[in-house]
Amino acid sequence: MSAVSVPDLRAARRQLLLDSAGIAVSAIGFGFVFGLAARNAGYSPIEASAMSVFAFAGAAQFAAVGYIAQGLPWLPILVLTFFLNARHLLYSASLAPWLRREPFGQRAAMAHVLTDEAFALAATHFHRVGRADVPGYWIGAVVAVFIPWNLATLAGVLLGGAIPDPSRFGLDVVFPAAMAGLAVGLVTGRRELVAAGAGGAIGVVLSFLLGPAVGIVAGGLIGPLAGMAAPEGRRRMAPDSDLTGLPVDLDGAIADAGAGEAAGAGAAVGVAAADDRHPEPDGAGR
């Protein structure tokens, strides 16, 4: 595909801004809920905002903030967040051929703000204009997601302090609900379903027997093996399946990574469910 002319590029960027508007609204809602969850876990506005700025990991932040507050060791938290974000390896590999001529520092900054939504917007935009468009990438990543997410996080953690009893409004279940929603969204076929179920079951059982740290790691590692052993069956259409002409077969790559992510989310749900039924150990909170 040949590159578009300058007027067409401007039109494509305007369309990108319009496409970003709806995603920004979603980022505001999700970021606000994260801010509430962080406040409920005992995080200060500075701590919660710093996590959103420097980690910027969406659902993985929900997992991390909950388990750090419970005093879990870093290793199981890192394992869980790795599984939850494994698809970003595929996203970055798909965008790399478009951006290989950009300076290393700029590519590193782009990697930091890469999200599901930023990838979908940028990849579609690059394909539409026939070449890499760095300003377009920043529109999709920063304007649509990074800025709304961080502003909403700050608002959530500040306003959360005005709520005297979060459990009255159901805010004490924000973390397990977010993990459950993520697990459901990752199920696009039988393998992901089996992986999420196995990860959740292992997370529950081993959390009761050996503690949540073991439950997270074991569920995240064994769940994908159960998923890969299951017959694939029919798949629900992947969200980025209309991105034809990209440098890699994204649908196939995401399908291969789905079992690991689903198992990680399932393990998080299982451990959260088990934790709700356990009395909190002394010193577990912040």
d(CA 252, CA 192): 14
Instruction: Tell me what the mean pLDDT of segment 165-175 comes to.
Output: 55
Whether residue 213 is predicted with pLDDT greater than 90 in this model: the reply is no
Per-residue pLDDT at 248: 43
Residue 237 — pLDDT band, cuts 50, 70, 90? very low
pLDDT in tens, 37-71: 888 888 999 999 999 999 998 878 887 887 787 77
pLDDT confidence of 201, banded at 50, 70, 90?
Answer: confident
Q: Could you give the number of structural domains in the chain?
A: 1
Mean of pLDDT values over 115-142? 86
Domain-located, residue 283: no
pLDDT tens readout for residues 258-272? 555 566 666 666 666
Least confident among 92-106, 124-138, 220-234, 260-274: 260-274
Per the domain annotation, does 242 fall within a domain? yes
Asked whether residue 207 is assigned to any structural domain, the reply reads yes
**286 within a domain of the structure (yes/no):** no
**99 inside domain:** yes
In a domain, 138, yes or no: yes
Half-sphere exposure of 72 (CA within 13 A, CB side): 28
**Does 285 reside within a domain?**
no
* Residue numbers of the domain that contains 195: 6-276
**Prediction pTM value:** 0.66
b/e 244-280 (16+ beta carbons within 10 angstroms → b): eebeeebbebbbebbbbbbbbbbbbbbbbbbbeeeee
282 domain-assigned? no
